[in-house]
Chain A
């Protein structure tokens, strides 16, 4: 397409978008910022609306009282406007190409019938989960704590597929592309990569089922890359192309975006931005309160159940401590049994407040290698939030 044709296309796209947006005007942007908006998208329940095009939907926190996050409530985050809205399983193929002896074109049925199925319970979490809590505030998806979820993923290991494709010697990276397309040719297609060793570790998998059901379209139907313990940016949705590369992978989404300061916990100072940055990778350790509700009024002398979840990148949660006095004193919470290395782990404690007043609840998780949560953290992109959470409750 020449430049003129391209520009006309852009114009036409714009007109189409504008015209269709005029069909149902029921909202006026007069003052900002907004209160929480809820929205229902196809195959999804009512979720917190960040953006509608492309969709970014956050899970209401009460769903985290379940060990597995229901598919219809699982968070949604796309980068590019052109997300897939229709997939024909008769023609859809997962292509495996590049530095291999045997390129492959596999249907979803092929994956289901020709490979050993595996299942894993794993947390997926957006790199920018909890971004809205950074101070000073940073631009980006203004998530609270609901850009994560825990699901049982079923599919095939990437290793088994690469073995079938017979990777040649000298492979370095493996790139993963999905069906989503950029709105302009100048925007990089969303493609991510893992090292060949990571891709072949037997844990990284391609899921065709999520909690024993096909994935919702907006969660990556029909196939999604699952990278347990790593941030969601690597979990490519609507996965359609795998390429084995004899050289390091390089594109905008790896070289420029999704980078963190090369410093402990990806932290830097707003006044002195880190010059040395690296691609975001494994989850740090964190915990999230799921009970009581922030606006729940508790009563003196009445036992109250405090509950939350904690997870890390797969080492395992060893301890969660809870404070009911703003961090002055801490006591161990009870941990539910582990349900998987890459799953979150539930913790609980009972608390009987003595007096009326305001209380600050805090939770601090520690994993088996001794990583824990801190009180302060900041980076320019708003990634990897794991500051000790404080929930203010009223006893009245």
Chain B
């Protein structure tokens, strides 16, 4: 029951992403990926004499190339954190990526099924895996 609700909600989120973004940029283009190199929202630092101190956080997250498992990744992971948590990592083996995904699911309670966890692992490995050592326990959830 709850799984169904979850799927609907997540699907809605995904739909919003797809329609909201219009198109996914061509992944063959090597573009700048940094907030710093790019246009940045001007800072709205509040005045120091005001009792209310407010900042506006910049929001500029990298967009990931298409691939198997991308949808699961975008839906389940970036709800809680920037995809830069992936891109700042070195290339890891599939085993390491799987243990990271497991940590997110089992320790932090990310709302993903075992099947989705595997898809996400495959996607993370495909975009930031270490060649040669990546043939981990494919198709199994757990080590």
Contact = CB atoms under 8 A, between A and B. Distances in A.
A271 interface: no
A184 B36 contact: no
Given A19-B20, A85-B54, A29 B33 contact: yes
Nearest to A8: B9
A87 B31 contact: no
A34 B88 contact: yes
B116 interface: no
A30 B31 contact: yes
A295 interface: no
A339 interface: no
B88 A42 contact: no
A360 interface: no
Interface residue range, chain B:
35 or more
A86 interface: yes
Contacts of A40: 35-36, 40, 43, 58
A30 B30 contact: yes
Contacts of A18: 13, 16-17, 20-21, 74, 78
B34 interface: yes
A211 to B, nearest CB: 15
A184 B59 CA distance: 20
B10 to A, nearest CB: 6
Interface string A22-48: 111111111111100111111100100
Contact of B79 (A14, A142, A252): A14
Given A37-B35, A42-B55, A53 B61 contact: yes
A29 B62 contact: yes
**Main SS of the interface on chain B?**
loop
A49 B51 CA distance: 30
A53 B13 contact: no
Contact of A81 (B62, B80, B90): B80
A37 B36 contact: yes
B55 A53 contact: no
Interface string B59-81: 11111110000000011001111
B35 A52 contact: yes
A187 interface: yes
A217 interface: yes
Most-contacted residue by chain A among B17, B26, B61 (CB, 10 A): B61
B34 A187 contact: no
Given A32-B127, A184-B80, A88 B33 contact: no
Contacts of B55: 42-43, 85-86, 217-218
A52 B59 contact: yes
A95 interface: no
Contacts of A28: 25-27, 29-31, 33, 62-63, 65
Nearest to A222: B53
Interface in B82-133: 82-85, 87-92, 96, 100, 107-111, 127-128
A4 to B, nearest CB: 6
A340 interface: no
A54 B81 contact: yes
Given A27-B38, A52-B35, A139 B54 contact: no
B20 A81 contact: no
B66 to A, nearest CB: 11
Contacts of A184: 80, 108-111
Most buried by A among B40, B43, B53: B53
A24 B41 CA distance: 10
A327 interface: no
A41 B57 contact: yes
Contact of A21 (B39, B61, B90): B61
| Residue of B17, B30, B39 most packed against chain A (CB within 10 A) | B17
Contact of B12 (A11, A24, A186, A256): A11
Given A21-B59, A34-B87, A37-B37, A53 B10 contact: no
B27 A30 contact: yes
Nearest to A55: B57
24 contacts: A7-B9, A14-B13, A22-B20, A24-B39, A24-B41, A27-B31, A27-B61, A27-B62, A28-B25, A29-B83, A33-B89, A33-B90, A33-B91, A37-B33, A37-B35, A41-B58, A43-B55, A52-B57, A52-B59, A52-B61, A142-B90, A185-B109, A214-B48, A221-B53
Interface of B: 2, 5-6, 9-10, 12-13, 16-17, 20-22, 25-41, 43-45, 48, 51-65, 74-75, 78-85, 87-92, 96, 100, 107-111, 127-128
